[in-house]
Structures are given as structure tokens and as C-alpha cells.
Structure 1
């Protein structure tokens, strides 16, 4: 199959910036009443590795009870804006217009919008009426890597076509005051909102070529990560056993995925990882035999933006490529399923 190239990459974040000390203060006021053991959860905020984050609404919006309809309305408005901002920037870098896009892959799991976001963006972006739409839901934090692998398959199947991948998430729409659990408090300490987009095609030289991709889903792991669909909105599922699971399970799975491409872990110059949280970053470093602190771009993105779910790994890739990608890197992210996805890149 022909090589698919990444022609461009762009990111976007909403305008409301929150610093972690402000989040902790607000969380103490709200959760301190709703969750009697909240004082024992304070270290989660202090050790999360998050310094600032960007969210869809001002801080006070989240301190009031919100309905599913209110959350959905914000998702339709803000996620669409972020979709268009990231897509426009990616198209500009690739010297393309919306009318030149053949296929649009939209990855999002933090809101439900029907018609999906790329349909809502058609007029605003100038997409052609015959552009193919591929909305992808339910893969959460793995979406940046899984979505890219899907976009690569589509581009390779139709050489010369232009594929736009957009990952957009509003994780803050899951912040809630009803039936608060430890997982809800952990999510309040790390999650945020953002979007990333990239253009892919064969034939055109970009900043990297995709040389392989793979995916691994572990059986009997549905309870590790995901959403509970409840009356007030989406309730987070986030198992505390996730970091130990990664330390034990990710290396054998990565070895298997790379072996399908004739590669070994030692032949990878740089892993570009989704920074799910500080403990997740440290668990990945341990599993792959990397020195603690090796995943520096991951720590930077987590500190500056928090965990935005699917677009976050593309924020890391953007930092890595601006510093200069090594000869071979592997983009990898994990999400509900429980699933790990990888995309292998060769620097242009």
C-alpha cells in the first residue's frame, strides 16, 4: 500500500483558563460538602502534574447543577468552534481549503451530537457536499491514535485523496455535583477540553510518513475506563488499578503490535504517548524501560493543558515535531475497551 504522509497538525483550546490551585479551591468548596472524605483526595490535585487547563465555560458554570440538555447545548456550540479552529489551522498549514477535503474523520466521545460535528461544520468550513463523513464515538483517550490509524487506512485505500482527522473533546462536561465518586474527583483534577486536527494523504510530502499501525484490546477489561450514561450526564469510569495494569500489561502488548511490523521496542527512537495522568506517564516509562522523566513532552502537555482525552496525544506529537522527530517514533494511546492503539511514524 502507498505511504500516507502527515501533511499538517494543528491544535485548539477553549478560552477559559483554570489554574490548578483555583480548581482545588473550587473543588474544596463544592466537593467538601458533597464528599465527606474530600480532604483525603486533596493530594490527587497536588500530584496530578496539571498546572493549568482550558475548559468550555467559566469556572462558576461548573459549580451549579446542570442537566444533560445544558451540557449537550454547550457541547454542540463549543465543540463545533474547536473543531473548526483546529481544522482551519491544519488546512492552512497544508495549503488546502475545506473544498479540497475528500474524507472527514471526527473523533469525539464526550458529547452526543446528531448530526455529528463535521456535518454541522459543512458550510462554515466549505466542505464539498460529496465529502465522506466518518464520525467515530466511544474510544475516549485512545482516539488520537485510533483515529489516525483509521484516517491512514482511508487515505491509503484511495491514493491521492485528502483526509482530515479532527479529535475534539469537552471532558469538562462530565464534571458534576450529583452522586460524586472518587473517580469524579480524580477526573476533576486532570481532565480538560481541546481539539487537534491533521491532514493526511499519499503522494504529498509532509512532516512524517506512517509506516504501520496496530491495536490491542484486552479481554474482560470493560470496567477500567469509560462512561456511565446517567440522568444528569456522563459519569466517569476510571479504575484506580489502571497504572499497575499498564506496568504489567502494556509492554507485552506493545511488543506484539510492533512485531507485526517487524520491529522491536528497542528499535523505536521515541514513544509519543497520551499523558493520561502523572501516574500513567510513570507507569509507561517503567514498562518500556525508559528513565523517569524521559516522556518530557507528555509531562509538558499535561501541565499546560491537562488530559483532553483523544486530542492530547496529538498535542504531544505537535511538540515533538516542532523539536524535530527522530527517525522512528510510535504514537500510542490507551482508552476504553480497554484498548491500546499505535501508529508508527518515520520522520520526513
Structure 2
């Protein structure tokens, strides 16, 4: 792939702040019909690495009885608002106006939108009627990396074009209190909502240079992570095997990517990783033989925002850019499939 400039990177959070203490107290009350489940798993609230997060609905919404219709209605309203917020910030940061954008890649997996989000938000944002649209669904947490990589490849294929990338996830809408699945309680302790957006093109040094991207998928791993489609709404799939799988498999996947990118481990100044949960962050450090605590920005984003799925790794990247990019950074994120998405970023000259 021809190198492409990351010209801006913006984040947006949902309007309702939620402390982990309030989330735990509310879950204790709302899981009252399943006290054994809550008593057995309540420690996840204390060990998730989350202090606070932001959600698209107020806390009392979760006590209601919501099916597909009401959940998806909330998704459409909230996701469009987050899309507009993040996209406006990214376009403004790039010193552009919406009419300067030639194409848009949107990533979202936590609701159904047909027409897709960029079609709904585009006219309000001021995108041109001839904008090229590429909506992507089903990428989960890996979508922050693979979606940005898709936008970069499209920009590289059309010299002089500018592409907007937006990812929006409203994970908290999927929180379910009608399930005996332990993953439902884990989601209650972990999920937050947010969005991120970026402008990519081949003009100017920008914030970073996107040099290459790659993905690795493992066969027979569809049940490790994802969503089940059920009558009340999405049901999260979180297998307990995720942290040990990361510990066992990440190093080999990263080594393959490094060979593909033509770089050595010693040239990588820092990894920028999706913090799926406290145990996942620990597993990444173990797999990559990093000093404990090395992924400090990942832990900080998780602590302040929870797991927002695809946007989360871009919150980490924004923090890394603000602190100062090393010469070479390797981004990684895991998603359903089971997939590891990777991207090589270089500090602009």
C-alpha cells in the first residue's frame, strides 16, 4: 500500500457518565432474580479495570423492558449523533470543510442501520451528494484498525482523494438482564459507548503516516467473540478463552505482520493495542514480552471509558499522538472471526 497521511484523529463520548460503583449497585438490584449469578461474578466489576464510562442512555433506561425495536431505535438516534460529533471534529482538525471529503468509510456493529449511518448523517454533516460510501459491519473490536486501514487503502488507490473514517459503537444498548449467560454480567461491567473519526489522504505530513496493514484470522474460532442475534436484541459472546488465546497466539501473529511490513521487533517503538479488558491487556503484555504496565495508555482509556469496541483503540492512538509517537508504532485489535487486525504507523518526518 502506498503510504497515506493520517491528517486528523478525533474522538467523541456518549452523553451519560456512569461510574463503576453505580453500575455495580444497579446490576445488583436488576439481577435480583438471579442472585447466585451476581454473587458468583460480582468481582468482575472490581477487576475489569474500569472506573467510569459513558453510555447513550441514562441509568434508569436499563431497568426497562426493551426488545429489538426500542434498542435499535436508540441505536439509530445515538449513533447518528456520535457520528456527527466525531466527524465534525475530524474534518475541522484536518483544516477542511465537509465538501472537501471524497469518500467515507463507516464501521459499526452494535445496531442495524439501512440506510447506513453515513447516508443518514451525510446531509446533516454537509458531505457532497456524490460522496463515495463504504459501510462496514461485523468487524467488532477489530474495526477501529481494519476500518481505518480500508480508508487508507482507498485513499492510496485514488491519489489526491480525501477519505473520512468514522466508527461508532453503542455497546451498552446490548446489555441484557434477562440472561443466565455470565457474559451478560461481564458486559454490564465493561461496556461503554463512543465514536472516533479520522481523515486520511496523501497531502501533508499529518499526525502520522499509515505505511501498511494486515489481518490474521484463526479457523474454528467463531465462538470466541461476537454477537448472537436473539429476540430481545444482541447477546454478547465473550469466551473465557480470550485472554489465554491472546497469550498463546498474539506473538506469532505479530511476527507474521512484522515480516509482511518489512520491519523487525526492535524497530517497533511501541504497540498501540485495543484494551478489551484488564485481563486482555495483561495477556498482550505477556505475549509480546513487554514489561508489566507498559500499556499504560490502554489501561487509562479502559479505566476512563470502558470497552467501546472498535473506537477504543483509536482513543489509545489519540493519547499516544498527544504524548508523542515513536518512529514506528504497531496497532493491533482483536475482533470476531477470531481476528487480529494490524497497522504500521510511522512518525511524520
2: CA distance between counterparts of 1:56 and 1:168?
11
- Give the Å deviation of 1:35: 5.0
Shift of 1:37: 2.6
Q: CA deviation at 1:203?
A: 2.5
Q: Which residue of 1 aligns with 2:206?
A: 206
Q: Which residue of 2 aligns with 1:244?
A: 244
3-state SS in 2 of match to 1:194: strand
Structure 1 gaps, min length 5: none
Partner secondary structure for residue 211 of structure 1: strand
Partner of 1:79: 79
Distance 1:131 1:326 in 2: 34
Q: Are the equivalent residues in 1 in contact too, given 2:13–2:82 (CA < 8 A)?
A: yes
Q: Is the 8 A contact 1:49 1:303 kept in 2?
A: yes
Return the alpha-carbon distance in structure 2 between the equivalents of residues 331 and 56 of structure 1: 27
TM-score by structure 1 length? 0.99
How far the C-alpha of 1:43 sits from its partner, in A, is 0.9
Structure 2 contact 3–212 (Cα < 8 Å) conserved? no
| 1:223–1:237 Cα contact (<8 Å) kept | yes
How far apart are the structure 2 equivalents of 1:292 and 1:64? 41
For 2:267 and 2:97, locate their aligned partners in 1 and report how far apart those are by CA, in whole Å: 37
Q: Which moved more, 1:117-126 or 1:32-41?
A: 32-41
1:261 aligns with 2:261: yes
Asked whether the 8 Å contact 2:10–2:197 carries over to 1, the reply is yes
- Displacement of 1:261: 1.3
**Are 1:17 and 2:12 an aligned pair?**
no
Supply the distance in 2 between the matched residues of 1:201 and 1:180 (Cα, whole angstroms): 47
Where 2:220 maps in the other structure, the secondary structure is coil
Q: Which runs of 4+ in 1 moved over 4 A?
A: none
Q: CA offsets, 1:233-291, max 9 Å, x none?
A: 00001100100000000100110111111122232110000000000000000000001
* Aligned-partner SS, 2:261: coil
Match of 2:23, SS state, is helix
3-state SS of paired residue (2:321): helix
State the shift of 1:150 in Å: 0.6
Contact 1:195/1:311 (8 A) holds in 2: yes
Question: Which structure 2 residues correspond to residues 27-106 of structure 1 after superposition, within 5 A?
Answer: 27-34=27-34, 36-106=36-106
1:170 is matched with which residue? 170
Q: Gaps spanning 5+ residues in structure 2: where?
A: none
Q: Distance in 1 between matches of 2:29 and 2:124?
A: 41
Alpha-carbon distance between aligned partners in 1 of 2:133 and 2:233, rounded to the nearest angstrom:
26
Aligned partners of 1:194 and 1:180: how far apart in 2? 27
Conserved? CA contact 1:54–1:193, under 8 Å: yes
CA distance in 2, matches of 1:242, 1:77: 32
Q: Give 1:182-331 correspondences, 5 Å limit.
A: 182-331=182-331
1:32: how far off? 3.2
Structure 1 equivalent of residue 347 of structure 2 = 347
For 1:267 and 1:277, locate their aligned partners in 2 and report how far apart those are by CA, in whole Å.
27
C-alpha contact (below 8 Å) 1:64/1:177 kept by paired residues = no
Aligned equivalents of 2:6 and 2:165: distance in 1? Answer: 10
- The secondary structure found in structure 2 opposite 1:32 is coil
**Deviation, structure 1 residue 15:** 1.0
Pairwise CA RMSD of aligned residues?
Answer: 0.9
Cα contact 2:246–2:280 (8 A) shared by 1: yes
Separation in 1, partners of 2:127, 2:46: 44
Instruction: Report the Cα distance in structure 1 between the residues aligned to 2:86 and 2:293, rounded to whole angstroms.
Output: 29
Deviations 1:39-69 (A, max 9, x none): 1111111010000000001001011220110
Rounded to whole Å, the distance in 1 between the matches of 2:242 and 2:176 is 22
Partner residue, 2:7? 7
Query: TM-score w.r.t. structure 2 length?
Result: 0.98
Structure 2: how far apart are the matches of 1:202 and 1:219? 36
Cα deviation code 1:112-160 (max 9, x no counterpart): 0100000001211111111000000001000000101111110100011
Aligned residues: 348
